[in-house]
Amino acid sequence: MRGGPGHPIFGLIMSRIAQGTPMTTFDERERAFEARFVMDQDLQFRITARRNRLLGQWAAVQMKLTPEETDAYAKAVVQADFEEAGDEDVVRKLLGDLTAAGVEVDDATVRQALSDKTAEARRQFMEAQ
């Protein structure tokens, strides 16, 4: 009868439930998991935004933009990521802009840069903590 109605702890749990006493251990654990999830999501958002800024700077160098243009372009790449879920909006923007600027680039090159900049952004955040 491990843990069943005949177990001493079963009566204690049932009496707490009947009294409306919260099961704090479970509640605290649930809150801790929720807080961790929020922190993880926030960190992922920051890493993605940093990655997009780094990608914008990388593309700006390819297009030979001025420092002022580079800053504005990096911000535009960050904004482009809000168009749809995933990375396709960023890849599409970079490919389109680089091609329009006369830079010979293919999808694989942009995706490799995306991968490289993701790792760099993650490393930067881990070093800062």
pTM: 0.74
Q: φ and ψ at 21, to 5 degrees?
A: -75, 125
**How far is residue 53's CA from residue 81's CA, in Å, rounded to a whole number?**
11
pLDDT tens readout for residues 23-41 = 577 777 777 777 787 787 8
CATH fold for domain 8-128: Major Prion Protein (1.10.790)
pLDDT tens readout for residues 8-21 = 666 666 666 666 65
Instruction: Tell me the average pLDDT of the chain.
Output: 86
pLDDT tens readout for residues 44-56 = 889 999 999 999 9
